[in-house]
């Protein structure tokens, strides 16, 4: 039977805090993505600061996935931005996996 020392407990606490911060960040990104999706339904003008903020914070995640899907000619004939959907699914999977650890 092994004993848990103070160093092990400190390491466990630090790792747990880091994990919780990453999960919180993933949730924040997910809500930003959701906000961007909702804003796209209303077609805000380009001067809208909230719409611009949502686009600028989420596009760095969506753009690489869009480029990959375009290169492999996957989902090109669908009118929905599937790269956005892929990023949302990846965020949900990462949050679920990290939350379950």
- CB atoms closer than 10 angstroms to residue 88: 17
Residue 82 in this model has a pLDDT that exceeds 80: yes
Residue spans of the domains in the chain: they are 27-100
**For residues 2 and 20, is the Cβ–Cβ distance under 8 A?**
no
pTM of the complete model: 0.79
Q: What is the predicted pLDDT for the residue at 4?
A: 64
Residue 17 in this model has a pLDDT that exceeds 70: yes
Place of tokens 């407990």: 9
**For residues 73 and 79, is the Cβ–Cβ distance under 8 A?**
no
């Amino acid at each position: 039977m092994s004993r848990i020392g103070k160093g092990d407990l400190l390491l466990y606490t630090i790792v747990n805090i880091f994990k919780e911060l990453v999960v919180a960040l993933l949730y924040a990104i997910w809500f930003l993505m959701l906000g961007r999706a909702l804003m796209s339904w209303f077609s805000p003008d380009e001067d809208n600061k909230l719409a611009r903020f949502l686009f600028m914070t989420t596009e760095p995640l969506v753009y690489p996935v869009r480029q990959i899907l375009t290169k492999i000619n996957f989902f090109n004939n669908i009118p929905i931005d599937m790269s956005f959907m892929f990023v949302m699914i990846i965020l949900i999977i990462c949050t679920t996996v990290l939350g379950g650890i």
